[in-house]
């Protein structure tokens, strides 16, 4: 392995025993390029060709108040597979807030658990007083990677191969974009939403294959809400209004306290051909962090995701007073299970069914099957009491069967997208790719799981040049798709310059 180390990032973080500033969540500041990574076990498949991107949270400066892991600064980790070899690099997302705090030499914004008055500068997003760290999600659209923030931020663009920083996406509206924009490879469009504390409280937008804002439409809500993800089928974008949102009375005093209201869940189906056509459907009260897929069957739009059976859990025991925070990011507390909703466009009826009682979340599918009927889903399991992935589950939605891989104690995974094998012949013909933090050894590695032989566990382990921090989301982009979209972008730039 050959390693190039970049100049160090300035940090003022003091040692602590905070559960999400230590262990697998210990911030990591080193930025490197590493070539010809060492294979620890097995062999890198020759038919794995593409790039895995992973977003993590790494708090750089001493917090002004009570730290929440989602306050950390975004860092993108990348591993590039080609012809049986792997290369790695990582970079902080140079957001405006990152740059401002580097110049100031300390934190300028309070966090999710703090009073807004603690922030020393106006903040970003729906909350209004937070740092836009672009630390939540990472996707690739039109040949460019986009890092996003869950409370709505500017959307920061990077080259997915070099991680060169390209600044905020020029099409992002003033209210920002939420994490979890979706890419429809069939049309080349990027679909997004945002939310805010002022009417109409939510918008839906579309960016075309050339990176131009094609549509930006209101999706009116009764008041401020906290949606997190969206889905789409061939003809419909699916947004939501869940009964878990800020207490309206406390919000008048600028206190952001989330509670469960006595309301149903509501789903907005936005016609992709005419965004003014919005169909609303009621469903059982819950909260959903993440969706898997949606598609159309006759008069129905079918949606799969993770139904929270206890969306506002009681605090966990914690001597440091962090019990409420610990519970709200612990899957074993809010208890998500795989679930299916069916929305009948003719009758307005909603039908629901549970697809299993195993506690799972952060699901991935073969992206070639987005907005189509599909069979296989890949979810994560977590360590009880913690936001730490400790295993994977392959769900066969046709038979109802599932297969679980549990990592050894002290080893924690990352969200693992499905990477189709070059020349894949069917839906599960490919791999899961994930980074693993090994607390027993103080190291990190990349693992590859063959989805045709899922129960066998990792077929390959690859050493990373340093131990990384944990985080939230990841993305896989196939080499063929990336090269196609980059070539199209170059042609457009050449045509514009001619």
Instruction: State the greatest distance between any 2 C-alpha atoms of the chain, in Å, as a whole number.
Output: 65
| H or E segment and range at residue 228 | none
Cα–Cα–Cα angle for 119, 18, 114, nearest 5°?
20
Q: What is the pLDDT of residues 383-437, one digit of tens each?
A: 999 999 999 999 999 999 999 999 999 999 999 999 999 999 999 999 999 999 9
> Which positions make up the binding site for Fe cation?
180, 228, 290, 473
Q: What is the pLDDT of residues 105-125, one digit of tens each?
A: 999 999 999 999 999 999 988
CATH number of the domain that 131 lies in? 2.130.10.10
Q: What is the pLDDT of residues 231-246, one digit of tens each?
A: 999 999 999 999 999 9
Distances (CA, A) of 347 to 252, 343, 350, 351: 38, 9, 9, 11
Residue-range definition of the domain harbouring residue 184: 2-497
Alpha-carbon torsion, ordered 212, 215, 221, 227, to 10 deg:
-40
Cβ atoms 275, 217 nearer than 8 A: yes
Rounded CA separation 411/405 (Å): 12
Number of structural domains the chain divides into: 1
Residue 498: what pLDDT? 77
What average pLDDT does this structure show over 273-295? 98
From 355, 359, 361, select the one nearest 340 (Cα to Cα): 355
> Which positions make up the binding site?
180, 228, 290, 473
Q: Where does the pLDDT of residue 495 fall: very low under 50, low under 70, confident under 90, or very high at 90 and above?
A: confident
Cβ atoms 156, 164 nearer than 8 A: no
**Which distant-in-sequence residues (6+ apart) come within 8 Å of 104 by Cβ?**
none
pTM higher than the cut 0.95? yes
46, pLDDT greater than 80: yes
Residue 425: what pLDDT? 92
Distances (CA, A) of 377 to 119, 364, 386, 428: 41, 6, 23, 9
Q: Where does the pLDDT of residue 494 fall: very low under 50, low under 70, confident under 90, or very high at 90 and above?
A: confident
If one counts every other C-beta atom within 10 angstroms of the C-beta of residue 497, the result is: 6
If one counts every other C-beta atom within 10 angstroms of the C-beta of residue 406, the result is: 12
């Amino acid at each position: 392995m050959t390693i190039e180390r970049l100049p160090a990032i300035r940090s003022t973080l003091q040692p602590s025993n905070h559960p999400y500033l230590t262990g697998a969540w210990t911030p990591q500041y080193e930025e490197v390029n590493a070539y010809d990574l060492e294979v620890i076990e097995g062999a890198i498949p020759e038919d794995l060709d593409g790039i895995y991107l992973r977003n993590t949270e790494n708090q750089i400066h001493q917090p002004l108040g009570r730290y929440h892991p989602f306050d950390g600064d975004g860092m993108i980790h990348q591993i590039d597979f080609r012809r049986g070899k792997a290369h790695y690099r990582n970079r902080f997302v140079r957001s405006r807030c990152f740059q401002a705090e580097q110049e100031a030499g300390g934190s300028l914004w309070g966090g999710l658990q703090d009073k807004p008055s603690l922030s020393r500068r106006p903040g970003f997003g729906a909350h209004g007083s937070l740092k836009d760290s672009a630390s939540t999600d990472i996707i690739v659209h039109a040949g460019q990677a986009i890092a996003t923030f869950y409370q709505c931020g500017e959307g920061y663009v990077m080259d997915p191969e070099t991680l060169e920083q390209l600044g905020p996406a020029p099409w992002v509206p003033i209210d920002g974009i939420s994490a979890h924009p979706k890419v429809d490879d069939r049309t080349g469009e990027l679909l997004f939403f945002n939310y805010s504390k002022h009417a109409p409280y939510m918008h839906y937008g579309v960016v075309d294959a050339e990176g131009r804002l094609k549509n930006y439409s209101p999706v009116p809500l009764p008041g401020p809400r906290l949606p997190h993800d969206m889905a789409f089928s061939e003809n419909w974008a699916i947004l939501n209004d869940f009964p878990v949102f800020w207490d309206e009375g406390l919000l008048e005093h600028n206190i952001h306290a989330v509670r469960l209201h006595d309301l149903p869940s509501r789903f907005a189906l936005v016609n992709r051909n005419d965004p003014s056509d919005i169909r609303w459907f009621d469903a059982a009260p819950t909260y959903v962090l993440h969706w898997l897929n949606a598609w159309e069957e006759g008069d129905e739009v079918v949606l799969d995701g993770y139904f929270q059976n206890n969306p506002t859990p009681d605090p966990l025991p914690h001597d440091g007073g962090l019990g409420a925070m610990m519970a709200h990011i612990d899957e074993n507390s809010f208890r998500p299970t795989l679930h299916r909703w069916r929305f009948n466009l003719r009758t307005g009826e909603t039908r629901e069914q549970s697809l299993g009682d195993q506690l799972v979340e952060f699901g991935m599918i073969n992206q070639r099957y987005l907005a189509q009927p599909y069979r296989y889903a890949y979810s994560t399991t977590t360590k009880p009491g913690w936001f730490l992935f400790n295993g994977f589950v392959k769900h066969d939605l046709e038979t109802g069967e599932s297969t679980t891989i549990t990592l050894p104690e002290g080893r924690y995974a990352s969200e693992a997208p499905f990477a189709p094998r070059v020349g894949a012949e069917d839906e599960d013909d490919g791999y899961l790719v994930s980074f693993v933090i090994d607390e027993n050894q103080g190291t990190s590695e990349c693992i590859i799981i063959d989805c045709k032989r899922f129960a066998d566990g990792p077929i390959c382990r690859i050493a990373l040049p340093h131990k990384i921090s944990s985080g939230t989301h990841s993305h896989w982009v196939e080499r063929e798709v990336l090269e196609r979209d980059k070539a199209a972008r170059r042609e457009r730039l050449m045509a514009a310059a001619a």
